[in-house]
Amino acid sequence: MPQTIHRGIKALIDEANAEIETVSAADAIKLAGKDDIVIVDIRDPREIERDGKIPGAFSCTRGMLEFWIDPNSPYAKPIFQEDKKFIFHCAGGLRSVLAAKTAQDMGLKPVAHMGGGFAAWRDAGGPIETWEPKKKG
């Protein structure tokens, strides 16, 4: 029997957008590099390798987000314990609004997401750097 989804992705995204601050790519470009701002890239490493990354952005795959934010997790990352504003982005802005809402629901603040994601950053003329994964061995 097929599953019946009662609250689909559109509803989740609409709910998140109603509760989360959205920063435009143009504004994110102006904020990037400030001491009190952390741009969090939640894309998969393969996306970052393929398309490049925002210089100085902190990479955190969506699947590890909750574990890296929670200071009581064995995977906690110190950057999420800092008193800064966290601006999440993904490729197009859908995953990042959900990530920002999750982070906000966990108590991280202030948080926002970059509308339009990495594509909007690129289209707005934001700087991009290449990234290669660390070589094992």
Residue pLDDT, tens place only, 59-92 = 999 999 999 999 999 999 999 999 999 999 999 9
- Whole-model pTM: value is 0.93
The answer on pLDDT for 58 being more than 80 is yes
Name, in order, each residue with C-beta under 8 angstroms of 128's C-beta and a sequence gap of 6 or more.
51, 52, 53, 54, 55, 121, 122
Q: Return mean pLDDT, the chain.
A: 95
The answer on pLDDT for 137 being more than 70 is no
pLDDT > 90 in the chain, percent: 93
Q: What is the DSSP string of 81-127?
A: GSSSEEEEE-SSSHHHHHHHHHHHHHT--SEEEETTHHHHHHHTT--
Name, in order, each residue with C-beta under 8 angstroms of 84's C-beta and a sequence gap of 6 or more.
35, 36, 37, 38
CA 18, 19, 23 angle in degrees (round to 5)?
85
pLDDT band at 133 (very low <50, low <70, confident <90, very high): confident
The answer on pLDDT for 135 being more than 80 is no
